[in-house]
Amino acid sequence: SFIALQKSCLQLFMGKSYSLLQSFTHLIYQARLFAVAPHQKGKVQEEPVLSIQNKQAQNFDWALNKLDSSVRRTGRITRALLLRIFHDMCRTGYPSSNQALLLLRSCGSLLPEVPLCERTELAHMIWGKLQDLGAVYDASHYNALLKVYLQNEHKFSPTEFLSKMEEANVQPNRVTYQRLIAAYCNEGDIEGASKILGFMKMKELPITEAVFSSLVTGHARTGDMENAENILSVMRDAGIEPGPDTYLALLNAYAEKGDINNIKQILEKVEKMEGNFMDRDLMQVIFSLAKAGYPQYVQDIMSHMRYERGYIPDAMNLTLNLITQGLEDTAFQIFKSFPSLLSENHSESSMDYGNFFLRHCVTTDKLKQFCDELKEANMHSSPLQFTLYCALESKKADLAINLMKTMKEEGLPLRPHYCWPLLVGYQKEKNVQGTIGVLKAMHELGVEPDVETYTNYVLTNFDDIQTFRALLQENDCPFETEGLSVAELRHEAIYGTLENITELLYTDGRYCQTPPGPTEAVGYFLYNLIDSMSDSEVQAKEEHLRQYFHQLKKMNVVIPTNIYRGIHNLLDIYHVPELIKVCGYINTELGVSALEEELEKLKAEKQPIGNVLKQLIVALCAEENMQKALEVKAKYEPDMVVGGYAALINLCCRHDNVEDAMNLKEEVFRKDSSVALDTNKYLALVQVLGKHGRLEDAINILKEMKEKDIPIKDTTVTFFFHILNAAAMRGGVETVNRLHESILMLGLAKPSTNLCSPLITVHLEKDDVPAALEATIDCYKKYGTIPRLHDILCRLIEQGNTDLLQKAMDFMSQERGEMTMLYDIFFAFLNTGKYKEAKKIIETPGLRARPARLQWFAEKCIAANQMETLENMVEMTQKLFECDREQMYYYLLKLCKISNDWQKADATWTKMQEENVIPRERTLRLLADTLKNNGQEVPFDVPEIWYEDRIESATVSENNPEKKVLMLCKKSIFCSNIFNIRTVVFIISPWCSTIYYRIRSIAETHIKGFTLNDAASSLLIITQVRRDYLKDAMSTLKTVVESDMVPIPLAVTRLIQALAMKGDLESICAVEKMVENLAASIGLSRMLFVNNTVLAHIKNNNLDMAVEYIEPLFISGMQNPDSPIPSMSYVFRKVIEERLEPALEKLSAMAERLVNQFGVYKPATDLFLQYVDAGRVDDARFLLQRCGGIAEQKKILMAFIETRNLFVMKCTAEEKLLTDISCNFYFFPLVLDNDLASAKTLFEKVKAANIHTDEIFLKRLAVLLRNAGEPVPFTEPPVSVFSD
Amino acid sequence: MAATRGSSRRVFELFVSRIPWTLTTKELKDYFAQFGTVRKCMLPFDKETGFHKGLCWVGFSSEEGLHNALQKDSHILEGVKLQIRQQKPRSFRSQYADEGVADMS
């Protein structure tokens, strides 16, 4: 039929006869239900994350791609997928308006497996939730909701709907009214429809076919078929020819009445009118028939199916829809008609059909019957097993058990693991009854659980096996089986081991290490490294870093410029100019005059001038001063080096000075024949020689390139093309052919369409189309490429040269296939304005979208500003199978933007709504840009608002990293809606507050209800503290608290500590007040404020105040024994660290006073421990001597030991004091660490020092020795001491 | 097994995929035993779902067993065609060592 088609095309084109066109099937489609952009990105998650931007872009498109691929593959999505995307969107916080649109749009017929009312509920739930999250709705959202209502047959009041829109200040548009009319008509409410029609007329909106189709339905639903039919003539009177939509409405109307005769008549009539319904349209009729209770006529409609592309997914959706509506029998009938079942696909591997059918059927009682039938028809090898699988998967226990019963009856084997999926579910829910129920059912089915069943899925659910056995007994299940006993043993073993492993994992640092992240560029590492250091750290480690930079340099590590700039900026902030020098490049190029002076000087001093001479020549070349450069060369010829010649040759070529260029080349080769120029200089020579007709010389240069093995890059090939193309434009057929041939013969480039196109161009330039066609066919034979075919076809069409056109098409379809040929001729007709012919071509049955080809033509139109052509293409491809509509509209909007045609852009947007196309964010941006540029209001929420700065940024961002970062942040805010905490804090930290506030203000003005989330704010506070921007940190915290967010405790702690070190009592108070109500709930200890207040006093040199403040706390604490004793270890530690000796003295005196006067040991013990920790052993000893009771504070001491690094403790134990308590105290870690050798040494020392050893000490040593199998050389104390 | 002591530590492994969910280690082991002594049969189950993953590693104690299995055109078990290929020895343990699979040797 394709061959016939070509011929008919030609006849059509020549205007001979339309009769042949009847062989064209005029495809009439119901508007494609859904189309979103394909945006083939591959598997996002598998790609290594290259940069933050990339990642955000990926997140941004993720939902769209996910939904899209499902819809494109199958024409439906599952509720689970939709909900997952919805929840993800909610979690990330800021749904953009088109993400909202995408979700809403998906709540209609794309969910064939979900009952109608549930779909609408879903839509309402999504609508409300996203609105709460700040999604802004415009007309497109309301229209999408209307469409969902219509698809779900949801009853609602159109007037209320309109007033809701009015309340929300959203203007209804043409599509809104059309859908409202449809809603009225579905209810048979002609009056209501007329009212809306009145609005449309008032607003002078065009009345389209869609409106009339609705009216057909409307009249039919009132039972008035006569008037329904009459609508068609009303349409004609209005100048609109009834199209497929109208006839479909009529068909559905008759279907609802079960009037098969009229249906047949209409079908016949439409066929006669050289039209045809798509399979998808007929499926609607089937659905109407089945639903209205006339399944007996379904077969009649089936006979009209053409099984075109896309039949199977559409029919699957019909089947699913029918099942959802409880019409399983018709569903099964449709399913059995699938063409793949009838065709050759029955191979020995016996493909199973109908899985989707069975899966959705699992609720009905006809399941068994369907399984039998499938099995009998040899369509499915194991339908029962598969159904069981589905039941298990969806955790339908009763159904699963029933199915197993059936299977048993059928003599199919039942195995213990069939129950595992059910048991897994109960295991997760800790549902003991459920588990027992399954076991009971298994027992009844005669399947005894095996060891694996018990071990992995049952026993884990019970605390002890006895209870389990008892339960089994109660439920008449066997409880003394071999399987159970073995499992019991195994269970214990596994359980024990797991404990140990878990502990190990938690306590042993070796297992806790975070895995090394993906090897990012060294630059990022460096940036992060430097960023994570504070000013003082960088300054302190300057020498270190300097060496590191040197080392990197030695290793030839190159840092990308943009990151270098970031590092540069950081270093700048840290005031380390020396480091910047090491890190950066030093540019010390001299100017022409300086070089001339230098040259003269060297010459006068009789020193070698070669190098300076070369620099001078290069500098002159850079100034394009050919005359002077040649003079300099002539003057110092003996000292010229190759580099100088090369630059000079290139300069001559640029100045079209072919003579000098060749002379110079010969000159340098006389000096050294082995010299080779670089690629571009050779190419420049070839170019200029070609231009001056010195073909042989040019070919010789090419040969030389080959001989000297000059490297060929991609750019080289492009250069070849330009050389050839320039020659073609000059019309030199021989030049083009010979050069082209030489390039390919010498193997300098591989033949490509681009490289070959000058061979054709040269003929087209002379308007010799036959020669051009010959040349392109010749190209195909020689090189397998078909360059410039489109131009040739266009010329032939314009010239009306049918014979050659026929020849070209024959050639194409023979060599490249009919599909390619059809696209070629389609584009050629479009391009020459022969739209009628183009339309016939693109409507060829079986033709499918070829995105790459469509893109090629669209971009061609955009480049050439061919609006009409592009519009026609977009319109014509509406029903093209698998055509990405969003992409097509994107092309159109792109051109609207370029030609600044906002009216067209606006109309395009309305059309997109009518066609139910979800715009991607880039498309919305384009549209918004176009409208804004023309001072129009943007009637929707724009996903990214950074376009405001686009022009500004394009010029500035290159050399202004701060600006760049700002842009990046904006992008991260607007594109992703996912406020990636780490990213943003990472990005903003170097510029910290100023930039952060700018970003926030931008975000706040543009995103409704924008705030940083809790974690991000907290991180910001920490960063601000680190950078010593305490005021900013305070105000960030204030904002956090005021907006009812909860800061991370660490953020508050850091801030308070920093304030204390500054002695800023007032701010500490202020912060304390701010978090007053939060402190307890987020676990901020009151001592945080107390201790830091003490420290602040100390920092202010107000020691008395410090003591006066803290001392009463301990005394009053004593009176209330229930309250925990406050700890001021932090204060001691800080004071010791900072070597604030006077303060330490005061505090020490206070601690002793508390011991002596009040018996409060906590501060003294804490101080003692801090001394030990700091290695101030003498101080510790003196304190201990003065306050012996410290040794009795075992709880505090032990708690301390357990948190300390054992290694540190061991070291101190070796050499430090040994007293009554401290030997035990030091000894404990050794025991914990199982370090027997050290423990024995310590014991010897203790004995030698004649120190009293307490029972715990001895007991522990005894255990250690015994474990090591060594004798215990002392009387082991009784066990009871341990329980102390 | 004295005769094969030299190679007794080596296991000749077959990788089986597209295993229907209804089958378990026992059926696979019984089936592949016709080609030689089956030393190992590992069919990892997903503890989250209770279904296995459709993949199995069958280890023969001799190279002959492995070859016999590989030579057969198609392996159909309970009406379903299994995919088999030789498993490169390296990744056997490392890949599935921690899966907690039943080792039926």
Look-up of token digits 């592949």: B32
| Per-residue confidence (pLDDT) for residue A1219, from 0 to 100 | 46
Q: Which helix (H) or strand (E) holds A1105?
A: helix A1103-1119
* Cα separation, A61 vs A70, whole angstroms: 14
A contact test, residue of B51, B78, B81 with most A CBs within 10 A: B51
> Which residues, other chains included, contact A578 with Cβ-Cβ below 8 Å and sequence gap of 6+?
A542, A546
CB contact under 8 Å between A381 and B52, yes or no, is no
Q: What is the model's pLDDT at position A826? A: 94
Query: Any idea which of A608-617, A902-911, B40-49 has the lowest mean pLDDT?
Result: A608-617
Predicted local distance difference test score (pLDDT) of residue A249: 94
Mean pLDDT lowest among A590-594, A870-874, A930-934, A965-969: A965-969
User: CB–CB of A424 and B52 under 8 A?
Assistant: no
> Quick one: pLDDT at residue A637?
85
d(CA A806, CA A485): 84
Which of A845, A880, A844 minimizes the C-alpha distance to A857? Answer: A880
* Contact A208/B at CB under 8 A: no
Interface residues of B toward A, Cβ cutoff 8 Å, are 20-22, 24, 45, 47-52, 74, 78-81, 102
C-beta neighbour count of A673 within 10 angstroms: 7
CA distances from A443 to A468, A472, A1052 (A): 15, 11, 60
pLDDT band at B101 (very low <50, low <70, confident <90, very high): very low
Confidence of residue A395 (pLDDT cuts 50, 70, 90): confident
As a whole number of Å, the end-to-end CA separation of chain B is 15
CB atoms within 10 A of CB A588: 5
Label the pairing between strands B56-60 and B80-86. unpaired
Return the DSSP state at A95.
-
The strand pair at A27-28 and A276-277 is best described as: parallel
Question: How large is the ipTM?
Answer: 0.81
CA-nearest residue to A451 within chain B is B102
Residue A63 has pLDDT above 90, yes or no: no
pLDDT mean across residues, chain A: 76
Q: How many other CB atoms are found less than 10 A from the CB of residue A95?
A: 25
A561 or A164, greater pLDDT = A164
Reduce the DSSP state of residue B59 to 3 states and report it: strand
Q: Name which of A288, A334, A316 is nearest A112 in CA terms.
A: A316
Query: Taking CB atoms and an 8 Å limit, are B22 and A392 in contact across chains?
Result: no
Tokens of A1047: 């800061």
Q: List all residues 6 or more positions away from A415 whose beta carbon is below 8 Å from its beta carbon.
A: A447, B22, B24
Contacts of A505 in chain B (CB under 8 A): none
Other C-beta atoms lying within 10 Å of the C-beta of residue A518: 8
Tokens 């960088």 identify what position?
A538
For residues A25-47, average pLDDT: 30
For chain A, give the percent of residues with pLDDT over 70.
Answer: 72
- Give the CA-trace dihedral at A534, A536, A539, A543, to 10 degrees: -80
The nearest alpha carbon in chain A to B77 belongs to: A349
Nearest chain A residue (CA) to B51: A421
DSSP string, A883-901: --HHHHHHHHHHHHHHTT-
- Whole-angstrom CA distances from A539 to A572, A574, A992 are 12, 7, 19
B/e letters for A377-413, b = 16+ CB within 10 Å, e = fewer, are eebbbbbbbbbbbbbbbeebbebbbbbbebbeeeeee
Residue reference for tokens 């295991």: A427
pLDDT reading at A1015 higher than 70 = no
Higher-pLDDT residue of A977 and A223 is A223
DSSP state of A784: S
Q: Which of B22, B47, B51 sits opposite A415 (nearest CB)?
A: B22
pLDDT of amino acid A1105: 87
Query: pLDDT tens-digit profile of A1016-1075?
Result: 677 778 777 877 788 888 888 888 888 777 787 888 888 999 999 888 889 999 988 888
CB A128 within 8 A of CB A162: no
Mean pLDDT of A1172-1181: 76
CB contact under 8 A, B45 and A415: no
Name the strand (E) or helix (H) holding A607: none
Neighbours of A764 (CB within 10 A): 20
Cross-chain Cβ contact B20/A422 below 8 Å: no
Q: Looking at residue A1177, what is its pLDDT?
A: 72
Specify the pLDDT at position A464. 72
- Taking each helix axis as running N to C, give the angle between helix A733-745 and helix A695-707, from 0 to 180 degrees, rounded to the nearest 10: 10
Nearest to A74 by CA among A318, A363, A346, A343: A318
Q: Is the pLDDT of residue A1198 over 70?
A: no
Tokens of residue A510, six digits: 């070796």
Confidence of residue B100 (pLDDT cuts 50, 70, 90): very low
Identify the pLDDT of residue A251. 94
Partner B contacted by A389 (CB < 8 A): yes
pLDDT recorded at residue A985: 41
Element (H, E) at A283: helix A279-291
Tens digit of each residue's pLDDT (9 = 90 or more) over A1130-1173: 899 888 888 888 888 888 989 888 888 888 888 888 888 888 77
A355 contact B CB<8A: no
pLDDT band at A121 (very low <50, low <70, confident <90, very high): very high
Spatial contact of A184 and A178, defined as CB atoms under 8 Å apart? no
**Predicted local confidence at residue A212, as pLDDT:** 94
If DSSP codes are grouped into helix, strand and coil, which group holds residue B38?
strand
Whether residue A381 and residue B49 make contact (CB cut-off 8 A), yes or no, is no
> What is the DSSP track for A419-437?
GHHHHHHHHHHT-HHHHHH
Report pLDDT digits (tens) over B58-71. 988 888 889 999 99
Distance from CA of B3 to the nearest CA of A (A): 34
3-class SS of residue A848: strand
Give the span between the Cα atoms of A1255 and A1108, in whole angstroms.
41
Run of H or E residues at A27? strand A27-28
Q: Which two tokens stand for residue A633?
A: 């060369």
Shortest CA distance to A391 belongs to which of A372, A409, A371?
A371
Distance separating alpha carbons of residues A1170 and A1197, to the nearest angstrom? 11
How many residues appear in chain A?
1284
Q: Residue A738 forms beta bridges with which residues? A: none
Q: Within a 10 A sphere around the Cβ of A1097, how many other Cβ atoms?
A: 22
The whole-number pLDDT of residue A496 equals: 40
pLDDT of residue A833: 92
pLDDT band with cut points at 50, 70 and 90 for residue A518: very low
Distance CA A529, CA A523 (A): 10
Question: CA A92 to CA A169: how far, in whole Å?
Answer: 28
Q: Which residue in A381, A389, A413 is closest to B79 by CB distance?
A: A381
Whole-angstrom distance, CA of residue A1112 vs CA of residue A1110:
6
Report the residue of chain A nearest B103, measured CA to CA. Answer: A452
Q: What was the pLDDT predicted at A1128?
A: 85
Q: Give me the pLDDT at residue A502, please.
A: 29
Within 8 A of B24 by CB-CB distance, chain A residues are: 415, 417
Please tell me the least confidently modeled range out of A676-680, A1276-1280, B6-10: B6-10
Alpha-carbon span A1024 to A990, nearest angstrom = 10
**Coil, strand, or helix at residue B40?**
strand
Inter-chain CB pairs, A–B, below 8 Å: 45
Question: Which of A1126, A1129, A1106 is CA-nearest to residue A1117?
Answer: A1126
Residue A760 in this model has a pLDDT that exceeds 90: yes
Nearest to A452 among B74, B80, B102 (CB): B102
**B25 vs chain A: nearest CA distance in angstroms?**
10
Contact A389 B21 (CB under 8 A): yes
Supply the pTM of this predicted model: 0.51
Cβ-nearest to B51 among A349, A382, A421: A421
Q: How close A349 comes to chain B (CA, Å)?
A: 6
Mark residue B13 as left, alpha or beta (left: phi above 0; alpha: psi -120 to 50; beta: remaining). Answer: beta
Query: In which element (H, E) is residue B80 found?
Result: strand B80-86
Q: Directed axis angle between helix A279-291 and helix A311-324, to 10°? A: 10
pLDDT at A1225 over 70: no
Interchain contact, A385 vs B20, CB within 8 Å: yes
Is there a contact between B79 and A350 if contact means CB atoms under 8 Å apart? yes
Contact, A162 vs A179, CB < 8 A? no
Q: Nearest by CB to A456, which of B24, B47, B79?
A: B47
Q: Which residues contact B10 (CB under 8 A, 6 or more apart)?
A: B89
Averaged pLDDT, A739-746: 90
CA–CA dist A1013, A1046 (Å, integer): 9
**pLDDT of A1210 strictly over 90:** no
The answer to whether residues A916 and A886 touch, using CB atoms and an 8 Å cutoff, is no
pLDDT of A1124 higher than 70:
no
8-state DSSP, A454: I
- From the CA of A126, how many Å to the nearest CA of chain B? 29
A408 Cα to chain B: minimum distance (Å): 14
Measured over all CA atoms, what is the biggest interatomic distance in chain B, rounded to whole angstroms? Answer: 43
What confidence tier does A1235 reach under pLDDT thresholds 50, 70, 90?
low
Amino acid in the structure at residue A67: L
The one-letter code for the residue type at A236 is R
Overall average pLDDT of the A1089-1097 stretch = 90
Q: CA angle A1145-A1150-A1151, nearest 5°?
A: 100
